A = this chain, B = another copy of it.
Amino acid sequence: MIKSPLKLAIIGGGSSYTPELVEGVLKRLERLPVKEIHFVDIESGQEKLNIIKALAQRMVDKVGANITLTASFDRRAAIKDADFVMTQFRVGGLQARASDERIPLKYNVIGQETTGPGGFAKALRTIPVILDICKDIEELAPNAWMLNFTNPAGLVTEAVLKYTKVKTIGLCNVPVSMKMMIAEMMDCSPNDLSLEFAGLNHLVWAHRAWLEGKDITAEVLEKVGDGANFSMTNIFEEPWDPTFLKALGAIPCPYHRYFYQTDAMLAEEKETALSGGTRAEQVMETEQELFMLYKDVNLDRKPEQLEKRGGAYYSDASLDLVDAIYNDLKTINVVNVRNNGTIATLPDDAVIECSAVVGSWGARPLSVGQLSPAVRGLIHQVKAYEQLTVEAAVHGDYEKGLMALVNNPLVPDIKRAKAILDDILRVNRDYLPQFNH
């Protein structure tokens, strides 16, 4: 059966990550006959969008691919008849992220892009926009798959699955990065590893690790406890306590440090904020440097400096998914999908992050069942926070927002929750029309 060529729409096309995505497409031309990529962004991002478009064109030209590139502010045109809509936008830009990081720190609370109050603020800004995008998809490309990379990816995907009819899968580069690091510490090929992932986005555990049929979970935990590299560019690598890891019995993701090692992570954040600036502030610099590079008319490939930006394997996670769906590969990918009984006792309509078989039928999660008490409490606590956040974001509901923060394990107290919430609503006023009714 001859399959039709593909149109991709990239929402947030002016992102510094885009060259990686383009590179991913070009690497897979034999498997994925992409005929058109439409980069779309908002007007204030025009300059970046132009730079990206030009660089992408040079990359395409270099390999002689037959792909039409378009860059515009016309989201509806981009979405119209797209086969895949990839979302990677950032409402409020890095400026808003910086305030997400700074506000909680004022109250001695973790200030982080996707977890804690920072992720909450980002969700409030992002969810109304993505629901709007989904209306366009429902109308203009009802058969398209939306691959959502926009953070907080689990929360955003849950809002989409609850409030729209768009076929969507959320994804994240954390699980694939964990796999790569485990392969490195086991000195094996990632292909020989089997990892049973289940949890929530940025709160995912590899519950068991297998190397060619042998359960190596304990061995991996020992190596991690022993100091093997197990973090990501954007997360401070506070060492893990070996006894704790053994007691946990599951491999935590780098973001778990915020929950399990709060004191050290907070101390580091506060120091960094004082010295080098928060992560957002550092990224702003990196971004500027990247776009300087991107402008170079001689550059016709993804520059190595992009790796510093923190999105390792972003392109692979994303395009492997396109590949699996388009070519019906039935590979195991780690994705954000509707729970539907996969993790027992979480609500059916909750979005979880887990290993799933991806093919032309979408993503079918591997059954997980009952989680151990070692992880069951935290996942329910964070999911309650997420459910409440989705409601707060969709309905602009102050009380739900307060309950969301009170339920976030990184926020220790009602008083601080309220103060942070009020700061967030004030500072982000322009991005939160749903709260100004």
| A381: contacting residue among B328, B365, B380, B399, CB under 8 A | B380
Known: A194-B330, A332-B330. A414 touches B241 (CB 8 A): yes
Point out the residues of chain B lying under 8 angstroms from A366, CB to CB: 357, 364-367
Of A119-127, A276-284, A338-346, which binds chain B?
A338-346
A90 within 8 A of B: no
A234 within 8 A of B: no
Distance in angstroms between the alpha carbons of A342 and B208 in the assembled complex = 18
Distance in angstroms between the alpha carbons of A412 and B261 in the assembled complex = 8
Question: Are B414 and A325 neighbours in the complex by a CB distance under 8 Å?
Answer: no
Of A39-47, A64-72, A93-101, A383-391, which binds chain B?
A383-391
Question: Are A261 and B413 neighbours in the complex by a CB distance under 8 Å?
Answer: yes
**Copies of this protein, total:** 4
Question: Are A194 and B360 neighbours in the complex by a CB distance under 8 Å?
Answer: yes
Question: Are B415 and A261 neighbours in the complex by a CB distance under 8 Å?
Answer: yes
Question: Are B361 and A364 neighbours in the complex by a CB distance under 8 Å?
Answer: no
A173 to chain B, nearest CB (A): 21
Question: Are B360 and A212 neighbours in the complex by a CB distance under 8 Å?
Answer: yes
Distance in angstroms between the alpha carbons of A213 and B246 in the assembled complex = 42
Question: Are B407 and A388 neighbours in the complex by a CB distance under 8 Å?
Answer: no
Tell me the residues in window 367-424 of chain A with beta carbons closer than 8 Å to chain B beta carbons.
Answer: 367-370, 373-374, 376-378, 380-385, 387-388, 398-400, 402-403, 406-407, 409, 412-416, 418
Question: Are B374 and A403 neighbours in the complex by a CB distance under 8 Å?
Answer: yes
Question: Are A210 and B399 neighbours in the complex by a CB distance under 8 Å?
Answer: no
Known: A241-B418, A262-B413, A399-B247. A340 touches B328 (CB 8 A): no
A350 to chain B, nearest CB (A): 10
A163 within 8 A of B: no
- Residue ranges of A at the interface with B (Cβ–Cβ < 8 Å): 1, 3, 192, 194, 196, 208, 210, 212-214, 241, 243-244, 246-248, 260-264, 325, 328, 330-332, 340-342, 344-345, 348, 355, 357, 359-361, 364-370, 373-374, 376-378, 380-385, 387-388, 398-400, 402-403, 406-407, 409, 412-416, 418
Task: Beyond A210-B360, A348-B369, A378-B407, list 17 extra A-B contacts (CB 8 Å).
Answer: A208-B361, A213-B328, A213-B360, A243-B418, A260-B414, A261-B413, A263-B412, A263-B415, A364-B366, A365-B367, A373-B403, A374-B388, A376-B384, A377-B383, A381-B381, A409-B409, A412-B412
